[in-house]
Amino acid sequence: MKDRPLSGLPQWRPGWQPLGVNSTMMGFCFFQNRSLLLTLLWTIWLVQPNLAQQTNAVSAQVAKEQDLRRVVSRALSSLGVFYYEKQEPAKAIRTMEEALKYDPQSVDIRTNLAMVYLEQQQFEKVLEQLGSTANLSERDQRSLTALAVSNFALGKYDQAVLFYKKLVQLLPADQVLRLTLAVAHHLNDEPGESEKILQQLPDDQTTQAQFHVILADAYRFRSKGSQAVAEYEKAVSLAPDLPEVNYRLGVLHSELHAYQKAADAFRRELKINPDNANATYSLGAYYFSYGNDPEQARKYFEKTLQLNPQHLGGYLGLMKIHLNQSQPAEALQLTEKAEALGTENEEFHYLKSRALNLLGKRELAEKELRIFEEMRERKK
């Protein structure tokens, strides 16, 4: 780019010199400053090696910092996985989020974090972490699953169709995946595409029932309770012994405050699968809260813990019964057994505070109450 002329002065051109300056004067100025020019060039030559050394030193420091950040990131990621395996998802999420700050380009950490978000049904955060298909390996099954389920749950059925198609290509023998793809097409106003998939699947009542279960799940995710109930009931009518369907129907009835219908559904589920810990707990919760039968509730809560010793709901249910029967010492013993499970649960801290308060341990009770209040405040 050529220099612009100064305002009010003609632009310099070869063979032209300003008025009042002759060649003799120009030569005099040049020879007079020649020694100064040579000194300047010599100084620059001496400084160049030092500049190169400084540049190399800075580069080495940057590389070292990057290496250290990756080390910290890997350590935090491992700690996050440890918390996840201990069933402390909130700690796992916080730790993995911190790990990602030190190495934002780590695909492994990002994927692990997305899978924990998925388990906690934080579907928007899954999409934020995994981004677009442009950055996604076509054979990354975990990421594809997280994106498919999250888009499906959020009602983004056009996107869900894309990811379920990729999963079906990876796992063509998985009938549930193909049924879910058919449901996604159905909800995306593509009945023809849905019907094509269904025609490729077995034409039996169990398959038809599974289609209605998946459709009911989609309606429930979108808070369409009455439509979800109708689909679950269609599934039960087609395949009365299909596991989990009565349990899901019972949960939905509970959310709609139809508690007797919920209890009936939980009982049907336990006839089909007596080892269903969630249905066992749910029936105990019904007897405790609405059946006015704490002893029957106790039996179901104890059975829940026999079936699944890591079921926090079973511990909380028994703690409530002990506190209602003025047995704070027994309730506090349960908090010790469930400490690792209940760290991130606000109700656990509230019940522990009540037990400590009844035992006269006021300072400890106030500490637990503060934790409970802080956790509730974070949810707002």
List the chain domain ranges: 63-120, 136-201, 203-309, 311-380
Band of pLDDT at residue 318, cut at 50, 70 and 90:
very high
Percent of the chain residues past pLDDT 70, beyond the cut:
83
* For residue 178, pLDDT beyond 60: yes
Per CATH, is 136-201 categorized as 3.40.50.300?
Answer: no
Other C-beta atoms closer than 10 Å to the C-beta of 105 total 9
Task: Give φ, ψ of 269 to 5 degrees.
Answer: -60, -40
Of the listed ranges 49-63, 118-132, 196-210, the least confidently predicted one is: 49-63
Structure confidence at residue 53 (pLDDT) = 64
Taking the C-alpha atoms of residue 270 and residue 266, their distance in angstroms, rounded to an integer, is 6
Mean local confidence (pLDDT), 206-234? 96
Q: Are 366 and 349 in contact (CB under 8 A)?
A: no
Taking the C-alpha atoms of residue 71 and residue 21, their distance in angstroms, rounded to an integer, is 67
Task: Give φ, ψ of 172 to 5 degrees.
Answer: -65, -20
Mean local confidence (pLDDT), 95-101? 94
In CATH, the number for domain 203-309 is 1.25.40.10
Do domains 136-201 and 311-380 share one topology? The answer is yes
Per CATH, is 311-380 categorized as 1.20.1260.10?
Answer: no
Structure confidence at residue 340 (pLDDT) = 84
Q: Are 279 and 296 in contact (CB under 8 A)?
A: no
Q: Is 156 helix (H, G, I), strand (E, B) or coil?
A: coil
What angle, 0 to 180 degrees and rounded to 10, lies between the N-to-C axes of helices 277-289 and 245-255? 30
Q: Is 338 helix (H, G, I), strand (E, B) or coil?
A: coil
Taking the C-alpha atoms of residue 377 and residue 117, their distance in angstroms, rounded to an integer, is 21
| 63-120 fold | 1.25.40
Mean local confidence (pLDDT), 116-126? 94
Long-range contacts of 110-113 (CB under 8 A, 24+ apart): 111/140, 111/142, 111/143, 111/146, 112/77, 112/80, 112/81, 113/80
Other C-beta atoms closer than 10 Å to the C-beta of 55 total 10
What one-character-per-residue DSSP string does 248-311 give? Answer: HHHHHHHHTT-HHHHHHHHHHHHHH-TT-HHHHHHHHHHHHHTS--HHHHHHHHHHHHHH-TT-
Give the residue from 129, 119, 176, 178 showing the smallest Cα distance to 153.
Answer: 119
Structure confidence at residue 54 (pLDDT) = 64
Taking the C-alpha atoms of residue 225 and residue 253, their distance in angstroms, rounded to an integer, is 9
Taking the C-alpha atoms of residue 274 and residue 307, their distance in angstroms, rounded to an integer, is 10
Other C-beta atoms closer than 10 Å to the C-beta of 354 total 19
User: How far, CA to CA in Å, does 58 sit from each of 45, 48, 55?
Assistant: 21, 15, 5
pTM here?
0.77
